């Protein structure tokens, strides 16, 4: 989906250019400077940096992580980020953010769950206040686990920035553009795109279209990677060159009362400072925010028989130490051709050792004829059966083998899939947007069994009954 004009006033009364510049590549070592010569040459931390800037490193991995996994960037800023008052608990407390899941704040259920799209609030609500947790597993304190959030907002963040100390955010906007200012530069993210904001980076979200809604996956103790392609070969799925990274941009000057909102252990804290955190004149490194346009995904699919497993549509993965098992996969179901012969083409009925949270950005989803709308969500937990609804099944069978090639168009669904079993927050279970009739979509499935009766299925050999 194309973004609209970007000429509206944004964060800190600075315009978001309609032709934002980006660097491209996934996992590259980037460098960018808003003023020529601002990057030190030959070393990271000289005694005096160019233009009197401060050198500051942000590390996304431990210092001694293997080189191929090590992530860090050097930022050259007008004032260091340490220059702020002490953090204090943010009041009133945000009661609907969770980063440690246990019996005190969440519960488990094997029942299939589905939510209708949540309405945009009428009261002024920015991205931070509009963020709430649906489910998750593990603990940010123990550096292993995930949380799935959603957000609804209608106003831009004012004189404040957000910092998530718990983990990486993968944001999937469904309604309304996001203008995101980060310490590395600016990103415009439209519905149909995603953005990854790594742990520890400060950012502000402006809403040029007003009402905004979307989904957020958060991972603790890991970072997203591109999945290996295996027998697919060297090309396909998400291409590294289509991931876009901002270029350096900075603001200077006094900003009395500027607030840093830090998420730490699922709780929010605030600290005051007198300058903008977006005062980075130059930076280099491989730990950086980035975005990706889902329409550039190159899907692979069955070309003869049977339906491919959804893993074939993985955009990004956060692996565990166990080969092939993900802490969290981000999988999409984009427009594509279905051409398999003598095959039930929607996703098959299945039970999965992984747990699946699904969302819909626009259009419809091929396995649900009714009830699953853009902005809605569903959760199918570990080993809970799920699959096409009755209407989809009956319509597919009615077409028979004469269906011919069919293109799924004008749709973008996605899935967050994890090896961990999610616990669901009480406000999600008690939500007025909970679809309590979700189970009804399968109740109409009837038996099509056409086997012979036991009497007809008996044959006699040598005068004795033998089952065929």
Answer whether 182's CB lies under 8 Å from 278's CB.
yes
- Give tens-digit pLDDT for 314-335: 999 999 999 999 999 999 999 9
Q: Are 10 and 278 in contact (CB under 8 A)?
A: no
User: What are 336's strand-pairing partners?
Assistant: 408
Angle at Cα 372 formed by Cα 368 and Cα 375, nearest 5°?
145
- Phi, psi for residue 52 in degrees, rounded to 5: 70, 25
Looking at the fold, whether 134 and 257 belong to one and the same domain comes out as: yes
pLDDT band at 404 (very low <50, low <70, confident <90, very high): confident
pLDDT of residue 16: 80
Say whether both 173 and 238 belong to one domain.
yes
The last residue of one of the domains, among 263, 294, 325, is 294
Q: Is the pLDDT of residue 215 over 60?
A: yes
The number of residues in the chain equals: 468
Q: Yes or no: say if 216 and 151 are a contact pair by the CB < 8 Å rule.
A: yes
> Within a domain: residue 94?
yes
Indicate whether 21 belongs to any domain: no
Straight-line distance from the first to the last Cα atom of the chain, in angstroms, rounded to the nearest whole number: 57
**pLDDT score of 454:** 54
Q: Which two tokens stand for residue 99?
A: 């980063």
Q: What is the CATH number of the domain that holds 399?
A: 2.60.120.10
| Average pLDDT, rounded, for the chain | 93
User: 18, exposed or middle or buried, with CB in 10 Å at 0-12, 13-18, 19+?
Assistant: exposed
203 near 210, Cβ under 8 Å?
no
Q: Would residue 171 count as lying in a domain? A: yes
Do the domain assignments include residue 242?
yes
Coil, helix or strand for 392?
A: helix
Same domain, 145 and 243: yes
So what's the pLDDT on residue 403? 80
Q: Is pTM, for the whole model, over 0.85?
A: yes
Q: Is 350 marked within a binding site?
A: yes
Q: Give the pLDDT of residue 346.
A: 87
Domain co-membership, 100 together with 211: yes
**What pLDDT, on a 0 to 100 scale, did the predictor assign at position 463?**
52
pLDDT above 60 (res 2):
no
Please check whether residues 167 and 271 belong to one and the same domain: yes
Q: Using one digit for the tens of pLDDT, what is the confidence trace for 13-41?
A: 456 877 899 999 999 999 999 999 999 99
Instruction: Please tell me whether 386 is known to bind a ligand.
Output: yes
Percent of the chain with pLDDT over 70: 93
Q: Residue 20 domain-assigned?
A: no
How far is the C-alpha of 180 from the C-alpha of 188, rounded, in Å?
6
> Based on the domain organization, do 249 and 303 belong to the same domain?
no
Domain count, the chain: 2
- Asked if residue 433 belongs to a domain, the reply is yes
Res. 7: pLDDT tops 80: no
Q: What integer pLDDT is reported at residue 291 of this predicted model?
A: 98
Residue 124 has pLDDT above 90, yes or no: yes
Q: Is 407 exposed, middle or buried (0-12, 13-18, 19+ CB in 10 A)?
A: exposed
Lowest mean pLDDT of 45-49, 318-322, 395-399, name the range.
395-399
- CA 58 from centre of chain: 22
- Same domain, yes or no, for 147 and 274? yes
pLDDT in tens, 250-304: 999 999 999 999 999 999 999 999 999 999 999 999 999 999 999 999 999 999 9
CA distances (Å), 211 to each of 41, 101, 123, 225, in order?
45, 30, 11, 31
Co-location of 236 and 307 in the same domain: no
Mean pLDDT computed over 92-106? 96
Whether 241 and 383 map to the same domain: the answer is: no
Burial of 29 (0-12, 13-18, 19+ CB in 10 A): exposed
C-alpha span between 203 and 179 (Å, rounded): 10
Residue corresponding to tokens 């027998």: 231
Q: Is-catalytic flag, 84?
A: no
Answer yes or no: is pLDDT of 8 > 50: no
Q: Is 144 annotated as a binding residue?
A: no
In the listed set 233, 260, 294, which residue is the last one of a domain according to the structure? Answer: 294
Nearest to 197 by CA among 148, 163, 174: 163
Q: Is residue 3 pLDDT above 70, yes or no?
A: no
Q: Residue 318 falls within a domain, yes or no? A: yes
Mean pLDDT of 196-220: 97
**Over the stretch 423-450, which tens digit does the pLDDT of each residue have?**
999 999 999 999 999 999 999 999 999 8
* 128 lies in some domain: yes
The contacts found for 308-317 with CB under 8 angstroms, 24 or more apart, are 310/347, 310/415, 310/417, 313/237, 314/227, 314/237, 315/194, 315/237, 315/238, 316/170, 316/196, 316/224, 316/225, 316/226, 316/227, 316/238, 317/224, 317/225, 317/226, 317/227
The whole-angstrom separation of Cα 94 and Cα 80 is: 28
**Whether residue 224 is found in the same domain as residue 273:** yes
* pLDDT reading at 464 higher than 90: no
**375 burial class (0-12, 13-18, 19+ CB within 10 angstroms)?**
buried
Could you say which DSSP state residue 106 is in?
Answer: -
Q: Which of residues 235, 260, 294 is at a domain's end?
A: 294
Q: Which helix (H) or strand (E) holds 292?
A: strand 290-293
Tell me the C-alpha distance between 440 and 53, whole Å.
62
Q: Are 99 and 183 members of one domain?
A: yes
Q: How far apart are CA 156 and CA 162, in angstroms?
A: 12
What's the Cα-to-Cα distance from 385 to each of 86, 229, 388, 397, rounded to whole Å? Answer: 50, 28, 11, 20
155-166: average pLDDT: 97
CA 130 centroid distance within chain: 16
Domain membership of residue 384 as a residue range: 297-439
CB atoms within 10 A of CB 440: 13
**Residues in a beta bridge with 194:** 292
Ramachandran area for residue 240 (φ above 0: left; ψ -120 to 50: alpha; else beta):
alpha
Kind of pairing between the strands at 160-164 and 258-264: parallel
Specify whether 228 is located in the same domain as 128: yes
Among 94, 144, 242, 307, the active-site one is 307
Check residue 12 and give its pLDDT. Answer: 44
Calpha distance 290→187 (Å, rounded): 8
Give residue 353's pLDDT: 95
């Amino acid at each position: 989906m194309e973004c609209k004009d970007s000429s509206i006033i944004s964060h800190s009364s600075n315009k978001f250019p309609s032709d934002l510049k980006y660097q491209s590549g996934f996992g590259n070592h980037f460098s960018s400077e808003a003023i020529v010569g601002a990057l030190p040459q030959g070393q990271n931390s000289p005694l005096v940096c160019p233009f009197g800037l401060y050198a500051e490193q942000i590390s996304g991995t431990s210092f001694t992580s293997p080189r191929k996994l090590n992530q860090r960037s050097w930022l050259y800023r007008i004032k260091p980020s340490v220059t702020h008052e002490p953090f204090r608990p943010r009041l009133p407390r945000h009661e609907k953010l969770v980063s440690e899941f246990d019996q005190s704040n969440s519960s488990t259920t094997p029942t299939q769950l589905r939510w209708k799209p949540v309405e945009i609030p009428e009261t002024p609500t920015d991205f931070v206040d509009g963020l709430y947790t649906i489910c998750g597993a593990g603990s940010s304190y123990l550096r292993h686990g995930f949380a799935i959030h959603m957000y609804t907002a209608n106003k831009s963040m004012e004189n404040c920035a957000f910092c998530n100390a718990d983990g990486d955010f993968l944001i999937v906007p469904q309604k309304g553009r996001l203008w995101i200012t980060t310490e590395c530069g600016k990103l415009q993210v439209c519905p149909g795109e995603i953005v990854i904001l790594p742990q520890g980076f400060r950012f502000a979200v402006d809403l040029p279209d007003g009402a905004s809604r979307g989904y957020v996956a958060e991972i603790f103790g890991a970072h997203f990677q591109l999945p290996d392609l295996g027998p697919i070969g060297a090309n396909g799925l998400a291409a590294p060159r289509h991931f876009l990274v901002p270029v350096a941009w900075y603001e200077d000057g006094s900003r009395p009362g500027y607030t840093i909102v830090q998420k730490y252990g699922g709780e929010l804290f605030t600290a005051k400072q007198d300058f903008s955190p977006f005062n980075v004149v130059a930076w280099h490194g491989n730990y950086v925010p980035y975005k990706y346009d889902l329409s550039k995904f190159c899907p692979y699919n069955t070309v003869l028989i049977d339906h491919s497993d959804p893993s074939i549509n993985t955009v990004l993965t956060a692996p565990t130490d166990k080969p092939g098992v993900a802490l969290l996969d981000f999988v999409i179901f984009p427009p594509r051709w279905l051409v398999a012969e003598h095959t039930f083409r929607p996703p098959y009925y299945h039970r999965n050792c992984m747990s699946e949270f699904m969302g819909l950005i626009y259009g419809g989803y091929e396995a649900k004829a009714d009830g699953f709308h853009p902005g809605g969500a569903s959760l199918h937990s570990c080993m809970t059966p799920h699959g096409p609804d009755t209407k989809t099944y009956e319509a597919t069978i009615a077409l028979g083998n004469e269906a011919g090639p069919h293109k799924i168009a004008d749709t973008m669904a996605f899935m967050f899939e994890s090896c961990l079993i999610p616990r669901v927050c009480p406000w999600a279970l008690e939500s007025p947007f909970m679809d309590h009739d979700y189970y009804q979509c399968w109740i109409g499935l009837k038996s099509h069994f056409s086997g012979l009766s036991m009497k007809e299925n008996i044959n006699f050999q040598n005068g004795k009954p033998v089952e065929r």
